[in-house]
């Protein structure tokens, strides 16, 4: 469960918000021995963009999953003594945001060895302070993003869920805006693309970034689908 809580600034100007992330209190992965219960009490919950808000709500998160969402006057949930209770009166609880195009590059080098506090600070500046609870990494070095993701998943570094996408360019479709010396993974046939996809999945990638049309500057665009039809 990933969500964020925000409190309107006083006075409210141009929809300014101050984010307080539940994510910081509940790492994405918790072991059975580290069982956690978090209760957000008194806030207004927006279950979805089209659903009516639930005012004066009790939102209970048990071991990373929402187990109760109701108005305080209607709830019968008994909180364990060890539960963390957040007073959310005057705040609004919404689903966490997704960043679908990010790069863990400048400042993220050697993520396996960087101090956790330094990575936490960078994560806050780039993602979590804005309410981002899931992010797609598109094109960063896999041997750097994977250890970063492991440290986030373990709870060592508070951060969003990190998903990774592998690149596939059309054959002879090296974009003009990328350095000429930069090697790009290219596929000339559907079979080659399938093999590349299988390899990406084995490494630990979660999806693909397809360059279906590569900009070649003054030359015609190289389209993946057009090339594969011939």
- pLDDT value at 74 more than 90: no
Which of 70, 95, 120 lies at the terminal end of a domain, its last residue? 95
Which of 95, 118, 138 lies at the terminal end of a domain, its last residue? 95
Q: CA dist 196 to 37, 208, 210, Å? A: 42, 10, 12
| Residue 189 and residue 125 share a domain | yes
| Residue 41 and residue 75 share a domain | yes
DSSP per-residue letters across 108-159 = TTTTTTS-HHHHHHHHHHHTGGGTEEEEEEESS-HHHHHHHHHHHHTTSS--
| Residue 211 and residue 113 share a domain | yes
Q: Let me know if 218 is exposed, middle or buried by CB neighbors in 10 A (0-12, 13-18, 19+).
A: exposed
| Residue 61 and residue 137 share a domain | no
According to the model, what pLDDT value does residue 31 have?
A: 38
Mean pLDDT for 165-194 is 94
- Alpha-carbon distance of 21 to 2, in angstroms, equals 9
According to the model, what pLDDT value does residue 193 have?
A: 93
Whole domain around residue 157: which residue ranges? 98-228
DSSP per-residue letters across 151-205 = HHHTTSS---EEEEEEEEEETT---TTS-TTS---EESSHHHHHHHHHHHHHHT-
The position carrying tokens 């299988």 is 198
| Residue 221 and residue 136 share a domain | yes
- pLDDT value at 28 more than 60: no
pTM equals: 0.76
Per-residue pLDDT of 12-26, as tens digits, reads 333 333 334 444 444
- Cβ contact 200:212 at 8 Å: no
- pLDDT value at 207 more than 80: yes
| Residue 111 and residue 220 share a domain | yes
Which of 40, 73, 95 lies at the terminal end of a domain, its last residue? 95
- Alpha-carbon distance of 23 to 94, in angstroms, equals 13
Tokens of 27: 């790492």
């Amino acid at each position: 469960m990933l969500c964020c809580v925000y409190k309107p600034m006083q006075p409210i100007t141009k929809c300014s918000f101050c984010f307080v992330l539940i994510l910081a209190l509940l790492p994405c992965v918790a072991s059975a021995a580290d069982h956690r219960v978090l209760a957000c009490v008194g806030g207004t919950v927006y279950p979805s963009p089209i659903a009516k808000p639930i005012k004066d709500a009790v939102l209970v998160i048990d071991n990373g999953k929402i187990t109760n969402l109701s108005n305080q006057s209607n709830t019968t949930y008994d909180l364990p003594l060890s539960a963390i209770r957040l007073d959310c009166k005057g705040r609004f609880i919404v689903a966490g945001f997704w960043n679908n195009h990010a790069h863990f590059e400048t400042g993220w080098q050697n993520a396996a060895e960087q101090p956790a506090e330094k990575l936490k600070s960078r994560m806050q500046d780039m993602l979590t302070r804005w309410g981002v609870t899931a992010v797609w990494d598109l094109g960063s070095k896999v041997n750097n993003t994977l250890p970063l993701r492991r440290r986030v998943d373990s709870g060592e570094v508070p951060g969003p869920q990190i998903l990774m996408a592998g690149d596939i360019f059309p054959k002879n479709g090296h974009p003009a805006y990328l350095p000429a010396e930069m090697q790009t993974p290219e596929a000339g046939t559907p079979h080659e693309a399938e093999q590349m996809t299988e390899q990406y999945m084995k490494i630990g990638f979660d999806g693909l970034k397809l360059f279906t049309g590569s900009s070649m500057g003054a030359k015609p665009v190289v389209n993946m689908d057009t090339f594969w039809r011939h």
